[in-house]
Amino acid sequence: MSATIISGKDIAAQIREELKKEVAEMKEKGVVPGLVTILVGKNPASISYVTGKQKTAHEIGFNSIQDDQPDDLAEADLLKLVEKYNKDTKIHGILVQLPLPKHIDEKKVLNAIDPDKDVDGFHPVNVGRLMIGGNEAKFLPCTPAGIQELIVRAGFETAGAEVVVVGRSNIVGKPIANIMLQKGKGANATVTIVHTGTKNLEEHCKRADILIVAAGVPGLVKPEWIKPGACVIDVGVNRVGEKKSEKTGKMVAILRGDVDFDAAKEIAGAITPVPGGVGPMTITMLMKNTVKSAKIHAGMV
């Protein structure tokens, strides 16, 4: 039997509608979530990501600011800019788009963001809060938070489930493993992280009730590695070529996930497609974090 396709696109749209209503209610009480996205330089992929974030923020009803800075902005000036937004009471979320130009120390900049406005969840304080878990966790990083939402909304039981995470990046692998092992709803799983140093990758994957793949290797996970009925979350977005868009006639990237989707969907119980799976959830969770931040700053939670 063919797997249920978990549409991140549809689930993200549903969450955005929920957020729109929440923001409308907040506005009645005089609170407008504020988000600033800072872009240094003109990296085309970054422009596209930031434009998407701004568009969504406007649609949901945020006070949303796009702060474009030149490629040669001095590191000290970027730190001053971050400090300005740290102090701005109308701003509840600060996002510095990565990557930054080479002359700027990314770590220094991320560490300068007020952890209570760090809606990306990248600041070491928020990484620590996530690790401690429970009420401590404030802003979960957006992609892992989106993955958890997909698993829960697809109706998979996580408590006691065998979760195998392929990949140990700071942005996806490590945080999603931490999220899934916490006590509480949508988690409480038995978690294994596998990586390039793991022996018997295949054997670990075969045990997974929930298999989360974030390796950045197209087609790494073979269909025979999937336990029948498992939930498969493919985080890989690999550019494997280009094609002409039927809609616009422009050249667009051909994207492929880390899982051999066509074959895997005949074995898995549910699976995310690439594109349209995890991707649309990332921006949505950024919006959710910003709403949460505005509520915390306004003493509403």
In the chain the beta strands, taken as DSSP E runs, fall at 4-5, 34-40, 63-69, 93-96, 162-166, 190-194, 210-213, 231-234, 238-244, 251-256, 270-271
Residue by residue, DSSP assigns 279-301 as HHHHHHHHHHHHHHHHHHHTT--
Residue 136: count of CB within 10 angstroms of its CB: 11
Binding residue (CB under 6 A) for ligand GUN from 54, 97, 126, 284: 97
Q: Give the sheet arrangement for strand 63-69, strand by strand.
A: 63-69, 34-40, 93-96
The sign of the torsion formed by the CA atoms of 258, 261, 267, 269 equals positive
Binding residue (CB under 6 A) for ligand GUN from 12, 94, 96, 278: 96
Contacts of ligand GUN in 65-84 (CB under 6 A):
none
Contacts of ligand GUN in 42-61 (CB under 6 A):
49
Closest residue to ligand GUN, judged by C-beta, is 98
CB of 37: closest distance to ligand GUN in angstroms? 8
Report which residue type is found at 112: A
Residue 95 interacting with ligand GUN (CB under 6 A): yes
Nearer to ligand GUN, 64 or 97 (CB): 97
CB of 142: closest distance to ligand GUN in angstroms? 6
Binding residue (CB under 6 A) for ligand GUN from 65, 98, 152, 252: 98
CB of 120: closest distance to ligand GUN in angstroms? 5
Residue 120 interacting with ligand GUN (CB under 6 A): yes
Q: Parallel, antiparallel, or unpaired: how do β-strands 238-244 and 251-256 relate?
A: antiparallel
- Return the closest-CA partner of residue 226 out of 188, 195, 269: 269
CB of 66: closest distance to ligand GUN in angstroms? 14
Contacts of ligand GUN in 254-293 (CB under 6 A):
282
Nearer to ligand GUN, 15 or 205 (CB): 15
The Cα–Cα gap between 50 and 45 comes to 9
Binding site for ligand GUN (CB under 6 A): 49, 95-98, 120, 142, 282
